[in-house]
Amino acid sequence: MELTRRDFLKASAAGAGAAALSTFGFDMKPAYAQAQQLKISRASEIRSVCPYCAVGCSMIAYVTGLGETQSFNTTPHLVHIEGDPDSPINGGSLCPKGASTMQLAVNSSRVPYPKYRAPGSAEWEEISWEDALDRLARLMKDSRDNRFVPKDGKDTVNRNEGFAWTGGATISSEEGYFTTKLFRALGTVGIEQQARV
């Protein structure tokens, strides 16, 4: 008997367990278990940490098409995220937000390329990374030179009042530190993140 996917779904819809047994003439339970397992059985388990609140729940991301599971026709594909049972903090549990992080990671609203909006314009336009970075580096340098305060009276202050940084807190400490290092070297005094607000 050739069983198409459509037939299979129809049969499944007719009823689980005993009904499946009578429809196909054999026990479907192992097949269900197999089908369930397939989703993550060939996936790499990668340890991450939840990006939302600061409880610090450990999570496992299941990705197919990486490392040993990579083959000619596969690309890395995130198939599932769940709580990491090893974590002393969350012990495998996740809250509604943590449990839906798949949709944050793979999200159709992600902005796919750099965009630029000219003064007075009503539209975004696409811009290349090279052009965006060149233009912005120019603006940053000019603003720094325009608004640099070397001295308050006789006091050396070397302060850049031309631009400021406000950063979020879903970036790692390493990214945060790197930002601090660069912006202090640029003389920036307006440096903030999520802590106060």
Partner 1 sequence: MTNHWVDWKNSDAFIVIGANPAENHPCGWKWAHVARDTRGAKIIHVDPRFTRTSAVADIWAPIRAGTDVAFFGGLINYVLENNLYHEDYVKLHTNASFLLSPDFEFNDGLFSGYDEKTRVYDSTSWAYQTTEPDKSQTSGTSGGAGQGAQVTTEESTTAKRDLSLQHPRSVFQYLKKHYARYTPKVVSQVTGIPEEKFLEIAKIFGATGVPDKVGNVVYAVGLTHHTTGGQMIRGIAILQLLLGNVGMPGGGVNAERGHANIQGNTDNAQSWEILPGYMRAPTPGLEKLDDYVEENASKPASPDSLNFFGSMYKQFTVSLLKTWFGEAATEKNDYAYSWLPKPDKNWSWMTIHDEARAGRLEGLFNAGMSSVNIGPDSNRIIESLSNLKWFVIMDPLPTSSSEFWHAPGVDPDDVQTEVFFLPTTHWIEKSGSFVNSGRWAQWKHPALPATEGIRDDTYILAQLFLRIKALYEKEGGALPDPILNLTWEYSSADNPPLEEVAQEINGRDLKSGLLLESFLDAKDDGTTAIGNWLYTGSWTEAGNQMDRRGTDDPTGLGYFHNWAWSWPANRRVLYNRASADAEGNPWDPERPGITWNGSLWVGDVPDYVPDSAPSEGLGSFIMTGEGVGRLFAPSSLMLDGPVPEHYEPTESPIDNLLSGTRRDPAAIIYEGAAASFAEDDSEFPYVATTYRVTEHEHYVTQHVPYLVEAMPDFFVELPVELARKKGIDNGGRVRVRSKRGEVIGTAMVTKRMRPLKVGQGKIVYQVGIPVHWHYAGGTGKGKAAQMANLLSPYIGDGTTATPEFKGFLVDVSKA
Among the listed residues 10, 38, 52, 72, the single contact to partner 1 using CB under 8 A: 52
The reply to whether 25 sits near partner 1 by the rule CB under 8 A is no
CA–CA dist 106, 77 (Å, integer): 9
Question: Between vectors from CA 62 to CA 58 and to CA 67, what angle results, nearest 5°?
Answer: 115
User: Of residues 123-162, which lie at the interface with partner 1 (CB under 8 A)?
Assistant: 124, 127, 129, 132-141, 143-148, 150, 152, 155-162
Nearer to partner 1, 14 or 139 (CB): 139
Nearer to partner 1, 28 or 60 (CB): 60
The reply to whether 16 sits near partner 1 by the rule CB under 8 A is no
Tell the smallest beta-carbon distance from residue 66 to partner 1 (Å): 8
The reply to whether 80 sits near partner 1 by the rule CB under 8 A is no
The reply to whether 50 sits near partner 1 by the rule CB under 8 A is yes
CA–CA dist 55, 179 (Å, integer): 24
* Cα distances (Å, whole numbers) of residue 131 to 28, 127, 138, 183, 190: 58, 7, 11, 22, 26
Counting every residue, how long is the chain?
197
> Token pair of 110, please?
């992600």
